[in-house]
Amino acid sequence: MRMSRFLPMAAALMFIVLAAVNGHAQEPVKIGAIFSVTGAASFLGEPEKNTVLMLKEQINKSGGINGRPVEIIIEDSKSDESAAVLAAKKLIERDKVIAIIGPSTTGESMAVIPIATKAQVPLISAAAGAGITQPVKDRYWIFKTAQYDTSAVEAIYAHLKRQGITKVGIVSVTTGFGDAGRKALHDMAKQSGITIVSDERYGPKDADMTAQLTKIKASGAQAVINWSIGPGQVVVAKNWTALKMGIPLYQSHGWGSRKNIELAGKAAEGVIAPLSRLVVWNKLPDKHPQKALLRQYSQSYEARFKSEPGAFGGYAHDALMLVVEAAKKAGTDRKAVRDHIENQVKKWPGTSGVFTMSPNDHCGLDKTAFEMVVVKNGDWQILK
């Protein structure tokens, strides 16, 4: 009689235990994202947001992270550093995310770094400034997936030298990205055999750079290098064309969006830049280690959003997949995710290049991550 009473109780207890275990197994893995979905840098944040939403669906359809669904909590920084800081605090303190991907810009990333560092949360930025991950001793929790601005400068200077060009004029925007690029251009000029004969600046809201380019034209420069993202790139291209400067225009790796070609129109013709292979994936040899990934990502994105992801969507792709792969292999503890990215990511093909992270390098890319690309007949072409 006693046994007959015990069995239903035991069965009920077992049911509760199994339900609790299964319930825990289905708890989502929360990953935060801070993107400039609106505001001045929305051309970066839109493809980044689209990318992580698309990838979340793909990841969950394939089983999530070891059976647990992925939940991406996206915060819009509105392209504002203060808003990015508030978003980071929310994601860390309220949402309890295992990692944060983004922000979209260098300035926002620099603002968020102290927050992520203090909370000991991995931050994988989608921005380019070298200061985001350097010096590494102060960036223990910080990584990034956009190529170094120093690598972009190295690629540009190497191409200039092959063309026999040694004197350049530079023009840059007065933002974190522009400041970092300008510094790299100066720091690397002498060792690269380049002389900067003119150095001009402009504000992020300036609508005409004719005066700056006129000074460069009069300086004896053999080429112009513009360092900016957003509308400034298009304005410089249009002014360069209108002035008939007769010298090549190089843009930074911030040029890697087809919207720049569309907005600049004929003024984009002949513009040269070091860009992610994502924009020219269909022109790569089939055996290239990135091509299969680039094809799959680009075609999936275009089919869903009817536009190209550009290099910027690719930065978000790589950031999210680094976190997801780390969580699958090392678990969802924040430090385990950080340690895996730093120590186990070796020759890892992403959209931005083939990554090799280390305790001394939290970007894992160099100048070989770029192709030198020129706009020709309204399309990207690889320069030989």
Report the half-sphere exposure of 297 (CA within 13 A, side-chain side): 33
13 belongs to a structural domain = no
Residues 6+ apart with CB under 8 A from 9: none
Q: Are 360 and 136 in contact (CB under 8 A)?
A: yes
What does the pLDDT look like over 299-310, one tens digit per residue? Answer: 999 999 999 998
Task: Count structural domains, the chain.
Answer: 2
- Are 266 and 327 contained in the same domain? no
18 belongs to a structural domain = no
326 belongs to a structural domain = yes
- Are 304 and 360 contained in the same domain? yes
What does the pLDDT look like over 141-172, one tens digit per residue? Answer: 999 999 999 999 999 999 999 999 999 999 99
Confidence tier at 7 by pLDDT (50, 70, 90): low
Cite the DSSP H helix spans in the chain. Answer: 2-25, 42-61, 81-93, 106-119, 149-162, 176-189, 210-218, 231-242, 258-264, 291-305, 310-330, 334-344
Residues 6+ apart with CB under 8 A from 141: 116, 117, 120, 121, 122, 123, 338
Q: What is the pTM of this model?
A: 0.85
Which pair of tokens denotes residue 44? Answer: 């970066």
- Are 274 and 175 contained in the same domain? yes
- Are 57 and 143 contained in the same domain? yes
- Are 191 and 206 contained in the same domain? yes
Q: What percent of the chain has pLDDT over 90?
A: 87
Confidence tier at 17 by pLDDT (50, 70, 90): very low
Q: Is the dihedral of CA 203, 209, 211, 216 positive or negative?
A: positive
Between β-strands 370-376 and 272-276, what pairing exists: parallel, antiparallel or unpaired? antiparallel
- Are 105 and 212 contained in the same domain? no
Residues 6+ apart with CB under 8 A from 381: 280, 283, 373, 374, 375
Q: Are 30 and 71 in contact (CB under 8 A)?
A: yes
356 belongs to a structural domain = yes
Spatial strand order of the sheet with 249-251 comes to 195-202, 167-173, 223-227, 249-251, 272-276, 370-376, 379-382
- Are 138 and 154 contained in the same domain? no
Question: DSSP secondary-structure letter at 41?
Answer: T
- 236: Cα separation from own chain's centroid: 23
Which pair of tokens denotes residue 85? Answer: 């800081």
Phi first, then psi, for residue 38 (nearest 5°) are: -125, 175
- The domain that holds 64 is classified in CATH as 3.40.50.2300
- Are 276 and 349 contained in the same domain? no
Q: Which domain holds residue 319?
A: 29-147+290-365
At residue 128, the pLDDT reads: 87
